[in-house]
Every structure is written in structure tokens, then in C-alpha cells.
Chain A
Amino acid sequence: MMDSGHSISPSECLLRMYEEHHEIEDYQKGVPRWCTGCGDNAILAAIQRLCRDEGLLPEKTVFVSGIGCSSRLPHYMNTYGFHGIHGRALPVAEGVKLARPELSVFVNTGDGDCCSIGAAHWIHAVRYNMNMTMMLHDNQIYGLTKMQASPTSPIGLKSNTTPRGSYLEALNPLTVTLGISNVSFVAQVVDWIPEVLYQVISAAYHHKGFSFVRIIQRCPEWLPKLMEPWLHDPQRVLMLHHEDGVEISPAVAKVYTRMEEHDPSDMNRAREIASSIDPIPTGILYRNEEVPCYEDVRLDGRLRTASLVKQGLEAEFDKFTVWPDASGQA
């Protein structure tokens, strides 16, 4: 044990130097191929800022995604990334986390990826409550496949598969998530308020457990007008704030004056807030640090040495062994 404050062990010193070394550019890779004005750019910027501020080691950080415009995000991160198949980002991320709990795991997914084809995994990921941060890039449309209605598309939305307007009421990802056993962190944010976007993602990262962040993300390519009314009227955004949640800076508070002090431990109020579509609530709706993480429940922390395996295996063999000398080792 070193005595605190005065001396620093050599390894920690090295670690610090290493950590301090990373700048935003160190997390950037390539030139994003998203359309100009696409909300995904803002999300990427917030994430890169988070990595820098938290000093995440690029080699110890994994971004997992599915398929969609949003799922391209890992390619623009100079960390490890896994750009998998449509809808299955969450189970891949869970496998990564169970195998390597020491890695920081993020999941980027779209409204089709998560709420349609991957919906089963979404529900179960909330229940597993593994320590990772999931960002739902909800542009309320299928972007990559060129404008088909998604489960979160507002009713009446005209798209290539609903030319006369979509038929069904939109699915609300917040109320769904809040209804799942073991839910431990639910937040919502919009891509056009970068400061709050950053704050919420940061809070999600710091939460131990499965953090679900729905990001209302603009898709200027297919739905250039969809979010206009909200963009132009700050009164249509409800700023949630709390000393245990997100604190609103004076600059933001000046523009977004519609506020509510909401205690993230209040599930009942969280559910009421979640059902509001207009105004759009932003901030942390719910947080519960007490929910156990699946990896902590399942992993016993023993070092898996060859002798441990041998011991266990021999004990299992013993159960099924027929010894040549019957009187012997039975």
C-alpha cells in the first residue's frame, strides 16, 4: 500500500501519463460518411469527447453495433469496434462483456435495429443489466435502406413502405424500457443540444449497469422536416434536472426554460414523463444503482488455471468412471 497523496507508484505514474496522453483526435478514425446535418455526427462528437474526458484506453474500449446508418459509428472510433449484423448488437456486446468484464463496452443501434428486428434482445439486455452503455439513435425511420417506416415512426408518416401514411401508433422506447424487470438506467436526449447530449451520455457511462439512452436523432436525408417544430420552439423540450441527475448549465437554461426537477429514483414519475411525446423530455428519467449486473452474478472471479480445470475435470470423470478393480475407488 502506498500512502496517499505523497508518492505515486511507478506503474500508476505510467498509467497516468498514458491516460493523459489521449486527445480527441486519438479517438477519431476516418471521415464519417453520414449525410451533412445527420444527427449521428453530433452523437459521435459527444462520444469522442467522453472517451477523452474519461481517459478511456482505446485498446480497452469496444463499440458494438448492428446494421444501419447509426451502426457505422464504430468505424469512426479509433478503439476496438464490432460492426455486426442487423439487430444483434446487444447479444454480441453481452458476450464481449461476460468474457472480458474489464473492457468498456458501448452499443450503438438504430430504431429498426433495436426496436424492430432486435426487440427481443433489447428487452433481455435490460433484464441482464450488464455494465454497458447503449445508445439508441432514434431517427424514427430506416435510414440506410432508404426510408421505410420504423416502429418509432409517428402514425401517419409517409415513407416508401407507407406512401399513404404509416398505420400504427409509434412504439415508445422509453415506456417499454421502463416496464422491464431490472431496468437500471433510462435517459433521453436530443442530438441538437450538444451539451446535454454529452452530460447524459457521460452519466450513462458512469452508471454501473445497463444504461439505455434514447437519442432523438435527425435524419435530414429522409425526414428533413420531422423535428423542425421542436428545433424552433425550445418550449417543446422539457429539461429534466436534479442534483442526482443532470444539472442544467445557465447557458442551456437560458434557452430551454421549460424545466422539471425530477428525482431519477422516482419510477412512477419517470413513467409519466416517459409517456410525453410533446414536449420531449430530456435528461435522466430513471436510475437505480442497486440492480445486480449479470456478469457479477455469473462470474466468480476465480483464476482459471490449468490446475483448476484439471481438478474439476477429474472430479467429473470420477462420477462416471468404472474402475478396473471394482472394490477399489468406487
Chain B
Amino acid sequence: MALDESNKNEESRVNGAAGKATILKEHIVEIISDSGEGAQKCGQSFGAIVARMGIGVWTVEIIPAEIRPPARSVAGASGNRIRIGSDQVTNGGDETDLVVAFNEQVLLGRIHSKELKQGCAILLESMWREDKDPKVAKSYAEACEHLIAAGYKVFEIPMEEECLKIVPDPRRGKNMFVLGMLCSAYSLDLQIAREQIALTFAKKSEKVVKANVELLEAGYEWADKNLDLKFEIPAEKSSTPQIVVNGNTALALGVLASGMEICAMYPITPATSASHYLSDAFESVGGVVHQAEDEIAACAFAIGASYAGKCTVTITSGPGYSLKQEAIGLAVMGEIPLVVVNVMRGGPSTGQPTKTEQGDLMTTIFGSHGDAPKVVIAPGTIEECFYSVITARKIAETFNMVVVILTDANLATSQQPFKRPEFDEAWLAPPIDQSAVPEGAKPYDWHPETGLARRFIPGQPGGMHTLTGLAHDVHSHVAYDPEINQQGMRARSLKLAALQKSLRPPEVVGDREGELLVVGWGSTKGAIEEAVARLRDEGRKVSSMHFAFLSPLPPGIKEVLGGFEKVLAIENNWSDDPDDEIIDESNRRYTALATLLRSRYLVDVDCWSECRGTPLKPSTVRHLILEKLK
């Protein structure tokens, strides 16, 4: 996919401290191995080191679909992809520039899935050339030959041999040798790397730390001596402390910070790691992760706890979200605050559990039978994952509504540094109201203009009533009266409008007028904004607008849309290709956001999308914008 004709890396050679280093604006590095060989840890450490040096970074986990794929298999690549740059990096970028592979098979897998740049640098473990198994040796030799012929710069490196000089089992430690090589190749500060290793292995013995530091240094020296690769990414050190976590950990930290006390969940990829982290960390602030018997129970449990006065979160992904839908409707009907996190994966059905997709927007906004108005928000960065939970709880409790946070596998597994948040007591939930309810007050005393009503919480004297999922009147009495039903439906709907009035329109990146406005939501933010910025640099009249609130849509949108000749939604969900033979305007299915905008604002919003399970690449976005501009 050599879509990106412009070379964004204005390379130039300078004389750095460590010899001649090529100054780069940005680079994408990938470290891949069989699972269990430590490429993940190597990648994370590399990401942390560059972050400490102030270099912009976005890390993406490479996860095989199977738990233990056979060794040396094309589908088995496990590791990390790290995009580094002089400026802030907001997405995973395009194709990889330099890859370190522990065997040639995982490497071939990555080439097959078109993740590597044509002709990129490959640092390959060379032990396989001499493998006892002639088939392995042959496969390795052939692969090398083939890659070189195809123009790749292959560096065969005796990693195993070098590590054996330091440790008896290189399976534990080769990753740190590789880290050392990368530190040399990217002119990173070795002292910072040493400190990072001490942090990474903080829970291990001093002996382990020492061995790993030795491996790091050995890798560094070896590369300095033998490797003709020297880059430098100039960057200014950030003056504020940064947090480096993935989106799921950011969400979990948000749960801690929001003051919620209970998370009810059932394991499901790719949401589970948030609950894993919470299970470990939540107790430190007096919280509980309840692993329920299924998602229905998890949601009902969360609803029960919320009803009892402690707004609760339930975290899941697509299939689990589908199961929760009936209970979510109950929370809507009963006006119980509830926070639901849906870390989207490929659907429908079991779909692609480890892959990313934005396929659940419609089911989230319109899901659960009947009219079930709820708030839907979608963080677009790792930092927003953190703050979205705090916002969600606040909205849930202020409006007595269900708030759904939509993230996806892309955000869940990507790391990006953000400014360390400063704790604010206002994040926390107020203490449970146990005051007596004034005489004559009603549990659903819907405000005629906003639909808002005060909620009575168990323990409040005088507030006794039976919450019901059946249609009910202001007293929470079951009522099938046509007028009363209208009244309840209206109140629940008005709350969305009341919230909408308090929102600001999303920021327009670029001019407010032009040829094309690109709209998106959620995890595609970085890729879209980067592509648009590139095009603007090239003189194109393109802007972008990214939605964090999907329900309700903020005010002022129509005015923004009106400033552009064309509007294009770019998303990671399904839409029909208008060029397909049987597709025409009467049957074309648009992306979710395009459908929403078209129906609400009567604006001809065009769309483009793909469901490859991978994050959008800025070069892809740039290319298709150029197509639309033709």
C-alpha cells in the first residue's frame, strides 16, 4: 500500500554524538516474536524510554488471534508497533519502517498483511540459518533471499549467540538485547533505558534487573559496532509528568478517579484487560470488581448497585453489549444512572474478537426495544478514555440516565502519553443522599421543560416507592393510561435535549469553510486529523470535525456542515461501496455517523469506511480524501 507519495521524513545526515545519525521527523518500529518471547515487553519499554526523552509515541500491541499459536507461524506474530516522532503522535501511522523479528515466519505474516513498508529495514534473528531441522534452515534461507530480492534491507543478527554470552536461556532476555540494539539505532539515552529496566522489573530480584541491564548494554554495544543504522528523532523534553498507558488502563484509571466503587463485568475480549487492571488496582481505593455469571447479570448487578445509590460501571464488548440491552432498557425506564463501557470489536456475532471496529454505534444509540434514549460518548484519544469515565458518571447521576462509552480494540491496546491528571475532588460522587424526602414529593416529579426528576434512594425516609420497568406515573405506580405513557416517554426524551443544550459544538480542525469537511468519531481521530493536516499543508481546502458526543449530537453542527461544499464521514464500520454494481442511492447503506447526520441535518453526507479489523492509516485517509476532491 504505497499510497503515500509525499515523503514526510525529510531525512538528512548530521554528525551526532554517536557518529553519523540520520535525523528523522518520525519512524515506525515493530518488534515481533512468537508469543511468550518478550517482544511485547521490549516494545513497551522502548515506548516508555522514548516517552521519557520527550519523543512523541503511539504504541500498538500486535496480538495473535490464538492464545498459543504454534511456534514460528505466520499468524503468530506477537509484539508491539511503536510510532515515534518529534511532535506528538496521535495514531499508529502508516507502514512500518524498521522491524525486529525473532524468526522469519512472524515476519512473513506481517508482510502478508501489508503492515511493513516496501523495502523497510529488517533486523532478523539469524540462528535459524544453522537450525538442526533442515526444513527450518531452508525456510529461513529462502525467506532471506526472497526479502533481499524484493528490496528489503535485511540485517541478519546473531541475537541468540550474543545473549548466550550473558544468560543461559536467551528466551528470557533476548528482548532486552533487542531493546539495547534499538537504543543504539535511535540514539536513545542509555541511562534512561537502564532506569526503565529497573522499573519494568521492579518486582523481580536485583539479579534479574542486573542481567537485563547487561543484556541491554550488550545489545547497544553490538549494534554500535556492527549495525549501520543510526537515527535520531530530535525532541524537546516535556516539562510535565506524563502517564503512559493503553486505553483500557486509562478507562480503568478513570473508573478509580470517578469515585465509582463497583464494576460488574463478565470477561470478554478486548474489554477484559480493563477489568484485569481494575481487579488489581480497585481495592486500593476501596472498590470492588464483581465478575458476574454472565453479562446480563453483570448489567443487572450494576443497575441494582446504582439504584441503591452507588453509580456503577459495567464493562464489556459487542456480544456482551447485546446481552445487556434488555437491562439497559430497564435502567432507561427506571431512570437509574448507569455507566456502560463497550470496547468494540469486529462484529456481528463473535466476529473478530481481537480486532478493531466501530460497528456498534447504531445498536448503542437505538438499542434496547422501544424508545430508550441514552447518552453515548466516544473518546478519541487515550487521555479521553480516562476523562470520559469521569464525565460519564457525572452525566449519569445528573440526568439519571444510562451513559455508554464507546471505545474499541484500537484504543484499548494503544499507548499514548498524556499529561498526568491532577486529582480533583469534584470528580468523585457526592455522598449518598439519606435525607428525608419532603412530604408530597414524588419519585418521578418530571420537570415540565427538562424532564429531570429527583431520584429517591433507599434509606431516604419518606421516599419509599417501587421502581418498575413497566410504564408508570409520577408516583412510580404502574399505569397504562395513554396520557401517562406519553408523559413518561416525553420526560425521558427531554433529558437528552436538556443535556444537548449544555454541550459545545465540536472543534473544527482547519478553516470553517472549504471544499471538504471530514467527520469522524472515536478512535479514528488521530489518523483523520493527521491526514487532513497533511493535505492542508499541501494547500488543500480540507477541514475535519470529530464527534465525542454521539447522543445527543451537540448543537451548532448544521452550521458547520453548511460551510463546506462536501462532507465526508470516515469510519471503521460497514458501508456499501457505491461503485458496486447493484448499489444505487435507493439501497446504499451509509456508515453510522453519516446516516445520523444525513437524517438529522438533511445534509448530503458522503461516507467511506472499511472493516479490515485494523486501525485506519493516515495515508489511506489522505488518499481517499484526494479521490473525493477530484
Binding site for B on A (CB under 8 A): 30, 57-60, 62-64, 67, 74-75, 77-85, 88, 90-100, 102-103, 120-121, 123-124, 298-300, 302, 304, 306, 308-317, 320-324, 326-327, 330
A113, chain B: closest CB distance, angstroms: 13
* Interface flag for B349 (CB, 8 Å): no
Task: Out of A60, A120, A302, name the residue touching B459 (CB < 8 Å).
Answer: A60
Task: Out of B242, B249, B306, name the residue touching A322 (CB < 8 Å).
Answer: B242
Q: List 9 A-B contacts (CB under 8 A).
A: A88-B296, A96-B304, A96-B307, A99-B308, A100-B309, A310-B425, A313-B253, A322-B241, A324-B237
A97 to B290, CA, bound (A): 13
* Interface flag for B569 (CB, 8 Å): no
Is A120 touching B297 in the complex (CB atoms < 8 A)?
yes
A173, chain B: closest CB distance, angstroms: 18
Other A-B contacts than A95-B262, A99-B309, 7 sampled, CB-CB below 8 A, are A67-B469, A99-B306, A99-B308, A124-B297, A306-B428, A324-B238, A326-B191
Task: Out of A97, A304, A316, name the residue touching B261 (CB < 8 Å).
Answer: A304
A309, chain B: closest CB distance, angstroms: 5
B400, chain A: closest CB distance, angstroms: 15
Within 8 A of A (CB), among B178-209: 189, 191-192, 195, 198-199
* Interface flag for B522 (CB, 8 Å): no
* Interface flag for B374 (CB, 8 Å): no
Instruction: Enumerate chain A residues within 8 angstroms of B428, measured Cβ to Cβ.
Output: 306, 309
* Interface flag for B460 (CB, 8 Å): yes
Is B244 touching A322 in the complex (CB atoms < 8 A)?
yes
Task: Out of A84, A99, A121, A298, name the residue touching B310 (CB < 8 Å).
Answer: A99
A220, chain B: closest CB distance, angstroms: 23
* Interface flag for B624 (CB, 8 Å): no
* Interface flag for B347 (CB, 8 Å): no
Task: Out of A80, A85, A302, A306, name the residue touching B466 (CB < 8 Å).
Answer: A80
Using A309-B256, A312-B256 as known contacts, say yes or no to A77 and B284 having CB atoms under 8 A apart.
Answer: no
Task: Out of A57, A84, A322, name the residue touching B48 (CB < 8 Å).
Answer: A322
Using A95-B303, A121-B293 as known contacts, say yes or no to A85 and B256 having CB atoms under 8 A apart.
Answer: no
Is A80 touching B464 in the complex (CB atoms < 8 A)?
yes
A75 to B345, CA, bound (A): 41
Instruction: Enumerate chain A residues within 8 angstroms of B239, measured Cβ to Cβ.
Output: 324
Is A314 touching B288 in the complex (CB atoms < 8 A)?
no
* Interface flag for B294 (CB, 8 Å): yes
Is B466 touching A300 in the complex (CB atoms < 8 A)?
no
Instruction: Enumerate chain B residues within 8 angstroms of A323, measured Cβ to Cβ.
Output: 52, 241
Instruction: Enumerate chain A residues within 8 angstroms of B286, measured Cβ to Cβ.
Output: 300, 302, 304, 308-309, 312
Is B466 touching A83 in the complex (CB atoms < 8 A)?
yes
Instruction: Enumerate chain A residues within 8 angstroms of B241, measured Cβ to Cβ.
Output: 321-324
Task: Out of A59, A99, A315, name the residue touching B304 (CB < 8 Å).
Answer: A99
Instruction: Enumerate chain B residues within 8 angstroms of A310, measured Cβ to Cβ.
Output: 423, 425
* Nearest chain A residue, comparing its CB with the CB of B297: A91
Instruction: Enumerate chain B residues within 8 angstroms of A57, measured Cβ to Cβ.
Output: 461
Instruction: Enumerate chain A residues within 8 angstroms of B458, measured Cβ to Cβ.
Output: 59-60, 62, 80, 96, 100, 103
Instruction: Enumerate chain B residues within 8 angstroms of A77, measured Cβ to Cβ.
Output: 466
* Interface flag for B506 (CB, 8 Å): no
Using A83-B469, A88-B327, A312-B285 as known contacts, say yes or no to A317 and B297 having CB atoms under 8 A apart.
Answer: no
Using A60-B458, A316-B253 as known contacts, say yes or no to A82 and B307 having CB atoms under 8 A apart.
Answer: yes
B43, chain A: closest CB distance, angstroms: 16
Task: Out of B53, B238, B285, name the residue touching A309 (CB < 8 Å).
Answer: B285
Q: How many A-B residue pairs have CB under 8 A?
A: 204
Instruction: Enumerate chain A residues within 8 angstroms of B330, measured Cβ to Cβ.
Output: 84-85
A95 to B331, CA, bound (A): 13
Instruction: Enumerate chain B residues within 8 angstroms of A78, measured Cβ to Cβ.
Output: 464
Is A316 touching B296 in the complex (CB atoms < 8 A)?
no
Using A59-B460, A59-B461, A85-B327 as known contacts, say yes or no to A326 and B285 having CB atoms under 8 A apart.
Answer: no
Using A80-B466, A306-B428 as known contacts, say yes or no to A98 and B288 having CB atoms under 8 A apart.
Answer: yes
A94 to B264, CA, bound (A): 11
Q: Mark B35-77, 1 if CB is under 8 A from A, else 0.
A: 0000000000000100111000000000000000000000000
Is A75 touching B468 in the complex (CB atoms < 8 A)?
yes
Is A81 touching B467 in the complex (CB atoms < 8 A)?
yes
Instruction: Enumerate chain A residues within 8 angstroms of B283, measured Cβ to Cβ.
Output: 300
Is B304 touching A321 in the complex (CB atoms < 8 A)?
no
Is A298 touching B290 in the complex (CB atoms < 8 A)?
yes
* Interface flag for B470 (CB, 8 Å): yes
A310 to B259, CA, bound (A): 10
Instruction: Enumerate chain A residues within 8 angstroms of B465, measured Cβ to Cβ.
Output: 80-81
A304 to B310, CA, bound (A): 12
A99, chain B: closest CB distance, angstroms: 4
* Nearest chain A residue, comparing its CB with the CB of B292: A91
* Nearest chain B residue, comparing its CB with the CB of A100: B308
* Nearest chain A residue, comparing its CB with the CB of B202: A319
Instruction: Enumerate chain B residues within 8 angstroms of A85, measured Cβ to Cβ.
Output: 300, 326-327, 329-330, 469
Within 8 A of A (CB), among B441-482: 458-470, 477-478
Is A99 touching B257 in the complex (CB atoms < 8 A)?
no
* Interface flag for B305 (CB, 8 Å): yes
Within 8 A of A (CB), among B270-286: 281, 283-286
* Nearest chain A residue, comparing its CB with the CB of B425: A306
Is A95 touching B259 in the complex (CB atoms < 8 A)?
no
A74 to B191, CA, bound (A): 67
A221, chain B: closest CB distance, angstroms: 19
Is B308 touching A95 in the complex (CB atoms < 8 A)?
yes
Is A317 touching B52 in the complex (CB atoms < 8 A)?
no
Is B288 touching A299 in the complex (CB atoms < 8 A)?
yes
A71 to B195, CA, bound (A): 61
Instruction: Enumerate chain B residues within 8 angstroms of A84, measured Cβ to Cβ.
Output: 300, 303, 330, 469
B298, chain A: closest CB distance, angstroms: 8
List the 9 closest A-B pairs by CB distance, nearest first: A95-B304, A81-B466, A312-B285, A91-B300, A312-B284, A95-B305, A92-B304, A99-B305, A95-B301
Instruction: Enumerate chain B residues within 8 angstroms of A102, measured Cβ to Cβ.
Output: 459
Is A304 touching B466 in the complex (CB atoms < 8 A)?
no
* Interface flag for B302 (CB, 8 Å): yes
Task: Out of A79, A96, A311, A330, name the residue touching B464 (CB < 8 Å).
Answer: A79
* Interface flag for B136 (CB, 8 Å): no
* Interface flag for B560 (CB, 8 Å): no
Instruction: Enumerate chain B residues within 8 angstroms of A314, measured Cβ to Cβ.
Output: 423
Q: Mark B244-258, 1 if CB is under 8 A from A, else 0.
A: 110001000100110
A77, chain B: closest CB distance, angstroms: 7
* Nearest chain B residue, comparing its CB with the CB of A300: B286
B442, chain A: closest CB distance, angstroms: 14
A75 to B467, CA, bound (A): 9
A83 to B465, CA, bound (A): 10
Using A82-B466, A85-B327 as known contacts, say yes or no to A92 and B300 having CB atoms under 8 A apart.
Answer: yes
Instruction: Enumerate chain A residues within 8 angstroms of B249, measured Cβ to Cβ.
Output: 320
A157 to B465, CA, bound (A): 38
Instruction: Enumerate chain A residues within 8 angstroms of B198, measured Cβ to Cβ.
Output: 330
Instruction: Enumerate chain B residues within 8 angstroms of A81, measured Cβ to Cβ.
Output: 464-467
Is A98 touching B305 in the complex (CB atoms < 8 A)?
yes
Using A75-B478, A96-B307 as known contacts, say yes or no to A120 and B294 having CB atoms under 8 A apart.
Answer: yes
A77 to B476, CA, bound (A): 13
A29, chain B: closest CB distance, angstroms: 8
A321 to B464, CA, bound (A): 47
Is B296 touching A91 in the complex (CB atoms < 8 A)?
yes
Instruction: Enumerate chain A residues within 8 angstroms of B461, measured Cβ to Cβ.
Output: 57, 59
Instruction: Enumerate chain A residues within 8 angstroms of B259, measured Cβ to Cβ.
Output: 309
Is B51 touching A322 in the complex (CB atoms < 8 A)?
yes
Instruction: Enumerate chain B residues within 8 angstroms of A327, measured Cβ to Cβ.
Output: 191, 195
A138, chain B: closest CB distance, angstroms: 22
B457, chain A: closest CB distance, angstroms: 9
A317 to B306, CA, bound (A): 27
Using A82-B467, A322-B244, A326-B191 as known contacts, say yes or no to A95 and B307 having CB atoms under 8 A apart.
Answer: yes
Is A317 touching B253 in the complex (CB atoms < 8 A)?
yes
* Interface flag for B417 (CB, 8 Å): yes
Is A320 touching B466 in the complex (CB atoms < 8 A)?
no
A317 to B304, CA, bound (A): 30
Instruction: Enumerate chain B residues within 8 angstroms of A320, measured Cβ to Cβ.
Output: 243-245, 249
